Amino acid sequence: MLLADKIIRTTRAMVLIFGLIRLITIAICSMSIAHAFTLSNGEEVQCDIKQGSKSGVATEIWNNYQKAEDRHPELGRAVAVMRLDNNSWPTIILDAEAHKRNAKGAPATWDFVYFHECAHAQNPDLDEIGANCAAYKAMARRGLMNFHRMKELEAMHYSMLTLPEEYGGSGLKFWHKTLECARRSED
């Protein structure tokens, strides 16, 4: 009976270990880390960072998930956010599932979202209006801003009825302040 007990304990331990390995593998596979974002024109870009004497690119985490409850908790209601990692290095977390669902139908929106989060990564103290302004200007510099794209971005902003005050309080004000900033910069 002693040998049987040892076999049962060993088997249980192995099942537990394999179960843990499976959970770790699932967790790792649910987030793919990359360092390039593909713009709507097919160009791959990186978010270049300079922090004092350190330079590199912001880390990108593409959050893949099957169920909404497995979505990265930092995303909240957003499709992308910028957070500093444990070493204070900028990390852009993107909702890969939302991107798969609507990147083709809203290409300017995703370019804009990426440049907005990149602006935060390059300057973590930048407010939301400033990050939007930087995103608008980055798209314009790359030839990604035209009347139709501007209207797509305008519609996206207008669809956000109520926003926190740091965004202007509403999507309408958020977009208006973004355009004010972008136009001020052109003068």
User: pLDDT by residue (tens digit) across 8-29?
Assistant: 666 665 656 655 555 444 444 4
Pair 153, 133: CB distance under 8 Å? no
> What whole-number distance in Å separates Cα of residue 28 and Cα of residue 150?
37
Region 94-122: what's the mean pLDDT? 92
Q: What pLDDT, in 10s, does the model give residues 129-184?
A: 999 999 999 999 999 999 999 999 999 999 988 888 888 899 999 999 999 999 98
Q: What pLDDT, in 10s, does the model give residues 45-63?
A: 999 999 888 999 999 999 9
Residue 84 confidence (pLDDT) = 92
In whole angstroms, how large is the CA radius of gyration of the chain? 21
Q: Which of 23-37, 73-87, 107-121 has the lowest mean pLDDT?
A: 23-37
Residue 44 confidence (pLDDT) = 93
Q: What pLDDT, in 10s, does the model give residues 93-104?
A: 999 999 988 888
5 band by pLDDT with thresholds 50, 70 and 90:
low
Alpha-carbon torsion angle 91, 123, 139, 94, nearest 10: 20
37 against 1, higher pLDDT: 37
Show me where the domains of the chain are located: 1-30, 35-186
Residue 15 confidence (pLDDT) = 57
Closest CA to 139 of 157, 105, 171, 114: 114
Residue 36 confidence (pLDDT) = 81
* pLDDT of residue 1 exceeding 60: no
Region 1-8: what's the mean pLDDT? 62
Helix pair angle (128-141, 171-186), 10° resolution: 50
